[in-house]
Amino acid sequence: MQITITARHFEITDAIKTYAETSVRRLKKYFENIIYVDIVLSIEKIRNIAEINLHYKKADLISKAEEKDMYKAIDVAVEKMEKQIKRHLSKIRTHPNKEESRNQLLNIISEEMNNIQKNGIHLKTKKIIANRYLVDEALEKLEKGNNRYLIFKNIETGKINILIKDKEDSFQLIEAIVK
């Protein structure tokens, strides 16, 4: 991790520089992929401002703090950055990316098709990519289109849903549950 410290409107001391570097190195415990960190320290009248710009391969995060003491400003900015990192990591863990979702769906469909073919029934298989919709959005899309069904990943539940349009223009929603 490369750390760059910039001082604006004052001459930075070795003690502040060392303190800022040490404080920012704590962030490395959350993930190893930090490319570089820019620390901008400035003094404007009686305000001490610490700004941290953290760059890693998937996102750029920024935190800023204003305090009467520069050490306190650095501490607050690092705390804010820790909160942002934790929030960002929880989003990554709870929301799989689209590629993972597609692969999971294709694996489930392939397994089911293989089971059916083993029982003597031969079917044409069709791989699909399930888009993410709310149920209302999926209903609108199915009503506007000419298809009789729509397979999608429900944004609210995170599960695969199948919306079927009957001949009488009524709809049936099926939620796939994988055991």
44-48, 123-127, 144-148: lowest mean pLDDT where? Answer: 123-127
**Same structural domain for residues 44 and 67?**
yes
Domain extent at residue 103: 96-125
Query: What is the structure's pLDDT at 105?
Result: 65
**Same structural domain for residues 66 and 143?**
no
**Same structural domain for residues 14 and 90?**
yes
Query: What is the structure's pLDDT at 12?
Result: 92
If pLDDT is split at 50, 70 and 90, which confidence band does 118 have? low
Query: What is the structure's pLDDT at 171?
Result: 84
Structure tokens at 154: 């429900």
Collect contacts of 80-87 with beta carbons under 8 A, ≥24 apart: 81/27, 81/52, 81/54, 82/26, 82/27, 82/30, 85/27, 85/30, 85/31, 85/54, 85/61, 86/30
DSSP result, 111-138? HHHHHHHHTT---------PEEE-HHHH
Q: Which of 125, 145, 167 is the last residue of a domain?
A: 125
Average pLDDT over residues 119-131: 69
Tell how far CA 58 is from the center of its chain: 9
Q: Which of 47, 79, 94 is the last residue of a domain?
A: 94
Strand, coil or helix: 31: coil
**Same structural domain for residues 22 and 80?**
yes
Please return the burial class of 47, using the count of CB atoms within 10 Å of its CB with bins 0-12, 13-18 and 19+.
exposed
Report how many domains make up the chain.
3
Residue 103 has pLDDT above 60, yes or no: yes
**Same structural domain for residues 134 and 120?**
no
**Same structural domain for residues 153 and 77?**
no
Tell how far CA 70 is from the center of its chain: 32
**Same structural domain for residues 83 and 146?**
no
| Distance (Å) of CA 114 to CA 33, 103, 119 | 40, 16, 9
**Same structural domain for residues 78 and 15?**
yes
Query: What is the structure's pLDDT at 150?
Result: 85
CATH code, 84? 3.30.160.100
**Same structural domain for residues 13 and 69?**
yes
**Same structural domain for residues 111 and 41?**
no
Rounded to two decimals, what is the model's pTM? 0.53
CATH code, 162? 3.30.505.50
Partners of 67 in the β-ladder: 48
Average pLDDT over residues 49-67: 90
**Same structural domain for residues 21 and 39?**
yes
